Amino acid sequence: MSIVEKAIEFKEKKHKFITTSDRIIAAREVKELILGVNELYKVNKDSELMDLMKDLTVIKQKIEKRLKGRPSAA
């Protein structure tokens, strides 16, 4: 399975991470996918790859936002 296929599969699956460790694993996985697609983009300059990276980045930001939690009111 190519990196693009893995990235598309990750983008289209449900993102319901129950535990913190699930979220950490997902954040690491999506980061690897973004970096892999970026390497392909450097060679091809395909706009579809850029759109895929943008979509994955949004997913990654949501996961990381959930990991950080809300700032405690002091």
Count other C-beta atoms under 10 Å from residue 35's C-beta. 11
Count other C-beta atoms under 10 Å from residue 55's C-beta. 16
Give the pLDDT confidence score for residue 72 in this predicted structure.
64
- Flag whether the pTM goes above 0.85: no
pLDDT digits (tens, 9 = 90+) for 5-50: 888 888 888 777 778 888 888 888 899 999 998 998 989 888 888 9
User: What tokens does 45 get?
Assistant: 């300059």
